[in-house]
Structure formats: structure tokens, C-alpha cells
Amino acid sequence: MRDIYLWWIGADAADGRLLAAVRSVVERTFGRGVHVWSGRDRPADAFDPRRQQHSSTRILQWLVDRRPAEAHKVLALTDVDLFIPILTFVFGEAQLDGAAAIVSTARLRTNHGSSNVRLLTTRLAKECVHELGHTFGLLHCDTPGCVMTRSVNLIEVDAKRTTLCGACEARYRELREKDGHHEQGTHPHPRR
Ligand SMILES: [Zn+2]
Ligand SMILES: [Zn+2]
């Protein structure tokens, strides 16, 4: 089964410890290998000068085009502020049941001071698991505390855990099984 690629595409240099922390949470949650990929390309046409933000949807398309061929999923991390047209900002975006996800640290930094690295790391890990969950086909969940609950502000991000609830976990296993068969090409035409 192919792996997840974690790709820093931020404006500033990557924070190795932050990436390592995200990597270990993602590996634990999804039971898949995560490679930290250090491609130096950056999306060129995602910046919107009027909004002074980057279009997350354009970045997702760029990721699909540029991801390493062996990557099953690519999760990009950035420090630039992201938006989709109908919202002021987004923490991240993912292709549902697709290959790409993006999460930004821009809105996860706190008013508790930028030195609160642990809080930033936890929030980032939650948003990364959430967006990757979408790429595996998981939808939003209503179970309080589940990482797949929708969160539109930091209070909601802080209120959830980094982990999937029992139902989402079961759904993920189910989806992964199908995905695995598909990937290995052993059941090109599933028989009943
Ligand atoms: Zn979501
Ligand atoms: Zn759930």
C-alpha cells in the first residue's frame, strides 16, 4: 500500500520538529507510512492579490499535478493564509476521496503568544488528520470530540481530539480495505 507524502510548501523554512510531530500522529491514526517530502516547487498562481491570501482550491489542483508519482496521498503544509471564495479563511481543504489536502499554520497560531509551540503542534495535527480523513472518504462527524467534527474557529479546534471516534475509525477501516484491493489491482471487476 502506497504512502502519504507530507510536503512543506510554506514561505518560510520548514520546521522539522513540527513536521515530525504531525508525521507521527498521522502514522498512528491511519496506520500508514508517512514520508516527509522536500520538493522545492511552490504553487505559483494561488495568490489572490485582492484578498492577500492563497486559494486553497488552486493549491489542491497544483498538488495533484505535482505530487510524486509514488504518493498515494499528498498532504501539504504551509504558513500562508488560505481561503475559499465563500469564507474569510480556511484552516485547510481536502479533496473528498481524492489525493490531495492542504493545511495552514497561519490561523492556528494563538493569541497566547507565538511561543506556544505545543498548542500549535496539537492544532496542526488535528487539522491534518481531519483533512486527510476527507481524502480517505470520511465525512464530517457529529460525535463531540471526534477529529472529523467540523471546526470553523480555534475554540472548536481546541475542543476536539486528534483521534477518530469509534464510528469514523470503523468507517476508515472499511474504506481502506476497498482502497487496498483497488490499489493492488487484485479485484479489477469485483465479483459478488
Ligand atoms: Zn472537514
Ligand atoms: Zn467521528
**56 Cβ partners below 8 Å, 6+ apart?**
46, 82, 83, 84, 90, 92, 93, 102, 104
Straight-line distance from the first to the last Cα atom of the chain, in angstroms, rounded to the nearest whole number: 24
Q: What is the pLDDT of residue 110?
A: 74
Report which bound ligand comes closest to the CA of 170. 2
Q: What is the pLDDT of residue 185?
A: 42
Report which bound ligand comes closest to the CA of 169. 2
116: confidence class by pLDDT, cuts 50, 70, 90: confident
Q: What is the pLDDT of residue 1?
A: 55
* Annotation says 131 is catalytic: yes
Q: What is the pLDDT of residue 29?
A: 96
**pLDDT of 150-187, one tens digit each?**
999 999 999 999 999 999 999 999 998 887 655 544 44
Q: What is the pLDDT of residue 113?
A: 54
Cα(116) to ligand 1 centroid in Å equals 25
**pLDDT of 118-131, one tens digit each?**
899 999 999 999 99
Q: Count CB neighbours of 192 within 10 A.
A: 2
Cα(81) to ligand 1 centroid in Å equals 17
Q: What is the pLDDT of residue 24?
A: 97
Query: How far is Cα 155 from Cα 152, in angstroms, rounded to an integer?
Result: 8
Sheet with 53-55, side-by-side order of all strands: 47-48, 53-55, 82-83
Find the helix or strand (DSSP H, E) in which 174 lies.
Answer: helix 166-184
Please answer whether residues 95 and 36 qualify as being in contact, where contact means their C-beta atoms are separated by less than 8 angstroms. Answer: no
Please answer whether residues 101 and 94 qualify as being in contact, where contact means their C-beta atoms are separated by less than 8 angstroms. Answer: yes
**pLDDT of 64-95, one tens digit each?**
999 888 899 999 999 999 999 999 999 999 99
> What are 102's three cell numbers?
492542504
Nearest Cα to 136, choosing from 180, 167, 70? 180
Instruction: Write down the pTM of the prediction.
Output: 0.90
**pLDDT of 18-63, one tens digit each?**
999 999 999 999 999 999 998 889 998 999 999 999 999 999 999 9
